[in-house]
Amino acid sequence: MNRRAFLRQICIASAMAIPCNALAAEFPEEEPQEQQEQYDLHVKDYISKMSHFDLAHPDDIILKDEELELLKNCTAKITRVMRTVGYGNFNLISVDQAFLFGRQYSRIGAFSTKEKEFLEKIFYYDADALGFYGDKPITAFTQTISRKDVIKIRHSGHYIFKGHPFEVWKEIKSALSSDVILTSGVRGVVKQFHLFLMKASSNGGNLSLASRSLAPPGYSFHGISDFDVGQKKYGEFNFTSRFTETRVFNKLNELGYLTLRYPRGNLLGVRYEPWHVKVSL
């Protein structure tokens, strides 16, 4: 059994108060007591990390030396890409487009071969090793998003995918009118890279810490369907647990629109995100 399945088993056992030795049959090569001790250790470790998602932990994966420098350089260049193409456009651009802009604009600077290889390595990195256990809906490093497949939401700077995601947004907007705002919609691979690398860079290259707050590139469902909502004039608190105190949250929860991608106590290695609307395709 791999680490992902193992962690899910022990977390489920813990949450349901099932005696750990009830699962021992799946590990016949180990003694029940050894199995229970192993379960207990992993459960405590997981709960501790998710309770303190924004703190470093002893077994976190942290980049050092050349890789840390590559992380900082790539973060800076991607930030310059964003400033060059504009915030709204940045949500949609692909990796190849970002590389092209780097070559075309001296204020960005061309991405070196090592920087490109670094970004590709991060994209294809096994997120399980970071402690992130979600699915990966985007498997191509060079994924592109066509403008014909999205709709720009006025006054937000964000886009939503046409079809079911847009229908869900219209229903939410109709139910809450001007109270609700779209805080994040479609995110291409480059946008997710920027968010993830910024978080890792600001925490000394800690990839594991970043993954507890942000899906690694390729693992975000913002790239295919999901979006975030918030309470108007609530600012940064829309991305904290205080969002649950708002009229928007309570109304959407009451109407059944908040089928969360990352609910409280989830086993995916991601903090609770009450603002993240899961859109099933």
pTM comes to: 0.85
32 lies in the same domain as 146: no
Give the span between the Cα atoms of 139 and 131, in whole angstroms: 19
Give the residue ranges of the chain where pLDDT is below 70.
1-43
Write down the pLDDT at residue 14: 45
Same-domain pairing of 221 and 101:
yes
- Judge if 130 and 9 occupy the same domain: no
Whether 150 and 243 share a structural domain: yes
Q: Give me the domain span that covers residue 105.
A: 65-277
pLDDT for the residue numbered 10: 46
210 with 241, same domain: the answer is yes
What's the domain count of the chain? Answer: 2
Any domain includes 59: no
Whether residues 26 and 106 fall in one domain:
no
Specify whether 195 is located in the same domain as 116: yes
- Which amino acid appears at position 238 of this protein? N
- Give residue 146's pLDDT: 96
Predicted local distance difference test score (pLDDT) of residue 23: 40
Based on the fold, state whether residues 103 and 17 are members of the same structural domain: no
Tell me, yes or no, whether 97 and 222 share the same domain.
yes
pLDDT at 33: 63
Same domain, residue pair 118 and 199: yes
